[in-house]
Amino acid sequence: MNPSPDQDLSRLSVAQVRAWVAGRADEAALALLEADPRAGAQALARAVRRRLSRAQQERARLDGMLEVERRLRAQGAGHIAGVDEVGRGPLAGPVLAGAVVLPPAPDLPGLDDSKRMTPARREALFERIRGQAVAVGVGVVDSAEIDRLNILQATLKAMREAIAALAVTPDRVLIDGTQRPGSGLPELAFVDGDARSLSIAAASVIAKVTRDRMMADYDRLYPGYGFAEHKGYGSARHLRALRDLGPCPIHRRSFAPVGEGTPPFEGDGRKQVGRRGEEIAVALLAQKGYAILDRNFRGGGGEIDVIALRGEVIAFVEVKTDLAG
């Protein structure tokens, strides 16, 4: 039975009332419970009151995280992009940036700096952000490019690529940190942006979830390192694997301890270029939502460089890379 607000809950058992109120946090439910003198109903009323208080606090927190965006919209900005990066510190894998343009009044309870959330919460919010955002962009710079540019320049490049990948051109770009990527658009960088701007927090979730999924794919491609667990960071397990197995193609040779005493990859320059081209292709496929099923598959007298899956589509990819890079 589902009583309406004008009914007397005392005609229901406490168990029925508990089932009815489960998950609710509204003033109408609270008023009905508070009018019921039974101890069980009063306990439920206290629980609803706590849920209401938490919901109000969460609304106030999210409203505060839209203050920068409101101020910019009052100055005439329409599309405001938040940008954040992930993967500057790991010994392996790409550095990745996310860019998100949110509508003026998004409904994203629980959104915060991605580092403060559980993986399950990030995954859930990833889907909600993509469902509500005006535009989402991702930029990926692989380990070979990180070694060539340095991690700061690679990070700024990933940010520029994420902004360029947006389906709309932002009027303002909000950056987490102190470094501006130089996108050619009006940029505002500030420390702790992912805790102060909802747009940047959304970008941090997009970046983190996308990179985590890529590292899970790499874990299947390069077993033994534990990439799905530590995401390329220098955990004790990762350092042991580096000592025992040596670096794999996605390790950053410019990072200690990866580059300490490790020889170049086996094979001539042409093979190294081909391998790097495949790494770039895998990163692009992962960015577009493909799961990597296999690489360098041999059969039927030939070889397939990459086999990837998205939904019901299986892609068989041949990668061609110019020796000039």
Q: Higher pLDDT residue, 5 or 49?
A: 49
Quickly state the pLDDT bin for 23 (edges 50, 70, 90).
Answer: low
Tell me which residue of 74, 64, 10, 60 sits closest to 40, measured CA to CA: 10
Q: What is the CA radius of gyration of the chain?
A: 25
Residue 203 has pLDDT above 60, yes or no: yes
The total of other beta-carbon atoms located within 10 Å of residue 249's CB is: 18
Overall pTM > 0.85 = no
User: Known binder of ligand: residue 84?
Assistant: yes
Residue 252 identity:
R
What b/e sequence results for 202-225 when a residue is b if at least 16 CB atoms lie within 10 Å of its CB, and e otherwise?
bbbbbbbbbbbbbbbbbbebbeeb
Token readout for 322 is 């110019």
Q: Which residues on adjacent β-strands are paired with residue 138?
A: 98
CA distance 130 to 18: 35
Residue pair 117/253 in contact (Cβ under 8 Å)? The answer is: no
**Could you read off the pLDDT of 149-200 as tens digits, one per residue?**
999 999 999 999 999 999 999 999 999 988 999 999 999 999 888 889 999 9
DSSP per residue, 33-54: HHT--SHHHHHHHHHHHHHHHH
Residue 81 identity:
A
Residue 29 is predicted with a pLDDT of 82
Residue 268 has pLDDT above 60, yes or no: no
CA distance 136 to 169: 11
Tell me which residue of 138, 139, 140, 152 sits closest to 254, measured CA to CA: 152
Give the pairing of strands 313-317 and 302-310. antiparallel
Residue ranges and CATH numbers for the domains of the chain are 9-64 (no CATH), 67-215 (3.30.420.10), 275-325 (3.40.1350.10)
Residue 160 is predicted with a pLDDT of 97
Q: Higher pLDDT residue, 231 or 265?
A: 231
Token readout for 160 is 């520029």
User: Known binder of ligand: residue 212?
Assistant: no
User: Known binder of ligand: residue 229?
Assistant: no
Residue 187 identity:
E
Let me know if 8 is exposed, middle or buried by CB neighbors in 10 A (0-12, 13-18, 19+): exposed
Range in 7-21, 133-147, 197-211 the model is least confident about: 7-21
**Could you read off the pLDDT of 79-138 as tens digits, one per residue?**
999 999 999 999 999 999 999 999 999 999 888 877 888 899 999 999 999 999 999 999
Q: Higher pLDDT residue, 196 or 291?
A: 196
Residue 273 is predicted with a pLDDT of 59
Quickly state the pLDDT bin for 289 (edges 50, 70, 90).
Answer: confident
**Could you read off the pLDDT of 44-84 as tens digits, one per residue?**
888 888 888 777 787 888 888 899 999 999 999 999 999 99
